[in-house]
Amino acid sequence: MATVTQAYRFALDPTPRHRRALASHCGAARYAYNWGLQLVQQRLEQRRAGEDVEVPWTLSELRLEWNRAKSQIAPWWAENSKEAYSSGLDGLARALKNWTDHRSGRRRGRRMGFPRPKRKGHCRDACRFTTGQIKVLPDRKHIQLPRIGVLKTHESTRKLARRLEQGTARIIAATISRQADRWFVSFTVEVQRHLPTANGKAGVVGVDAGVRHLAVLSTGVVVPNPHAVQRSLRKLRRINRELHRRKLGSRRRGQSRRRLARVHARAANLRRDALHKLTTTLATEHSTIVVEHLNLAGMVRNRHLARALADCGLAELRRQLAYKTAWYGSRLVVADRFYPSSKTCSACGWVRAKLTLAERTFICEACGLRIDRDLNAARNLATLAQHVAQSGWETQNARGADRKAQLVGRWP
């Protein structure tokens, strides 16, 4: 038995009154964030001018300042749960910390700028509750949140409710968020899980995530995209073209934009669902799973829809595999980002100089192998892990405290 932190997310069916309360709480979080940010900037300027002032930087410091000022600047504060303001200030404290950590070299990855104000309609609407009445009601159709009250869920909460009733789960926090025009609640839960060992599983499997297929496995199995995703992709392209024909700031452009957001959310949900089925199968049936490295920092701004979706798919695949391999006692290996998994011949090891995205078949000029591009990549990934095992690399079980997947295959 081990304690793992897990999220349970449910779509909500809010009444108009609930919708207003949900939006109000997210607005309150945004307000507190922006207010705190302004205060920090103001104090920093005062300090630069030589004044001796305290600059609030942590959540508790920011909360202290907020409580001192709230009846002056936000006399309506009692309309929302105090958790809403706390949630906004918490977001700010984290952003400030990311910025200082990045500047001092303690944080790797994408450059972290100084926090910027959140604009309504441009930022994620979300609010996190950590104390108060956070409940999953025994009828499995309702949940309860502080101040907002009892909300109906769109789907049954039985998976979480069952665990709560058995006493194998404990709710730590609840986050409400909006995606397109739908509201969600996500519970952060501490769950007691049995962690099995890797015994009795098939060996290594290489996974190549793509756009044409959800994934291609080194075993030759092609996991197709759900049909609904293909349909959504076509629809996305159409609405995208339509959006760009509309005049900037017009009412119809707004309509297209909202429709695009809805189709996008649906496509992403369908993909995520399909990926969940795939990653559970992989983690329960294989002892070692090898995936490509993905440059998360570089993937954000990419104009090509197909490429962007493939990146999202791969990021989500890796995220799910990272915790599921820990749950099911298997191991996740991530190939080094410079490992040429698609350019290498999986039969003889010859490396092609160049392979464009349009080339669907890999043809080896050394041994004459003709093979599907994705299958070739998946096979290379699987081989990579076998080399790692043979060369006596320290193999790391994902059940350890350090859940980071292992990076292998650094190429000259």
Active site residues: 208, 292, 374
How far apart, in whole angstroms, are the C-alpha atoms of residue 119 and residue 106?
29
Of the pair 153, 346, the CB lying nearest Zn ion is at 346
Q: Is 345 in the site for Zn ion (CB under 5 A)?
A: yes
The answer to whether residue 371 forms part of the interface with Zn ion (CB under 5 A) is no
Nearer to Zn ion, 216 or 364 (CB): 364
Beta carbons within 10 angstroms of residue 270's beta carbon: 18
| Amino acid type, 198 | A
**Minimum distance of Zn ion from residue 366's CB (angstroms):** 5
Closest approach, Cβ 369 to Zn ion, in A, equals 5
Q: Burial level of 265, CB count in 10 A (0-12/13-18/19+)?
A: middle
Piece of 150-158, 201-209, 262-270, 357-365 that binds Zn ion (CB under 5 A): 357-365
Asked if 160 and 8 touch (Cβ cutoff 8 Å), the reply is: yes
Stretch of 120-128, 201-209, 244-252, 360-368 lying at the interface with Zn ion (CB under 5 A): 360-368
Name the segment binding Zn ion (CB under 5 A); options: 37-45, 218-226, 234-242, 367-375.
Answer: 367-375
Among 23, 369, 371, 389, binds Zn ion (CB under 5 A): 369
Give the burial string for 278-307 (b: 16+ CB within 10 Å, else e).
bbeebbeebbbbbbbbbeeeeeeeeeeeee
User: Does residue number 364 form part of the binding site for Zn ion (CB under 5 A)?
Assistant: yes
366 binds Zn ion (CB under 5 A): yes
Q: Which of 7, 73, 300, 367 binds Zn ion (CB under 5 A)?
A: 367
Site string for Zn ion, 296-335 (x = CB under 5 A): ----------------------------------------
E strands along 99-168, which residues?
Answer: 126-129, 135-136, 142-145, 149-152
142-145, strands of its sheet edge to edge = 135-136, 142-145, 149-152
CA distance 292 to 223: 17
Residue 260 CB neighbour total at 10 angstroms: 18
95 phi, psi to nearest 5 deg? -65, -40
CA distance 124 to 257: 16
Q: How far is CA 353 from CA 370, 372, 381, in A?
A: 16, 18, 18
Q: Is 389 in the site for Zn ion (CB under 5 A)?
A: no
Which CB, 265 or 369, lies closer to Zn ion?
369
Q: Kindly state whether residue 347 participates in binding Zn ion, applying the rule CB under 5 A.
A: yes
> How many Å apart are CA 317 and CA 332, to the nearest integer?
11
Instruction: Tell which positions 188-247 bind Zn ion, by CB under 5 A.
Output: none
Nearer CB in complex with Zn ion: 109/368: 368
Phi, psi of 408 (to 5 degrees): -135, 170
Interacting stretch for Zn ion, rule CB under 5 A, among 54-62, 121-129, 366-374, 386-394? 366-374
d(C-alpha 126, C-alpha 134), whole Å? 16
At its nearest, how many Å lie between Zn ion and the CB of residue 363? Answer: 9
| Spatial contact of 330 and 372, defined as CB atoms under 8 Å apart | no
User: Are 115 and 96 a contacting pair, CB within 8 Å?
Assistant: yes
Residue 361 found at the interface with Zn ion (CB under 5 A): no
- Select from 70-78, 229-237, 327-335, 347-355 the region that touches Zn ion (CB under 5 A): 347-355
Give the number of residues in contact with Zn ion, rule: CB under 5 A. 8
Nearer to Zn ion, 98 or 346 (CB): 346
Q: Which is nearer to Zn ion, 297 or 366 (CB)?
A: 366
Q: Which of 30, 44, 189 is nearest to 118 (CA)?
A: 30
Nearer to Zn ion (CB atom), residue 274 or residue 364: 364
The DSSP letter of residue 39 is: H
- Residue 113 or 349 having the CB closest to Zn ion: 349
If one asks whether residue 350 binds Zn ion (CB under 5 A), the answer comes out as yes
Minimum Å gap between C-beta 396 and Zn ion is 31
The partner residues of 370 in beta bridges, in order of sequence, read 363
Task: From 36-44, 76-84, 249-257, 358-366, give the range in contact with Zn ion by CB under 5 A.
Answer: 358-366
Instruction: Give contact residues for Zn ion (rule: CB under 5 A).
Output: 345, 347-348, 350, 364, 366-367, 369
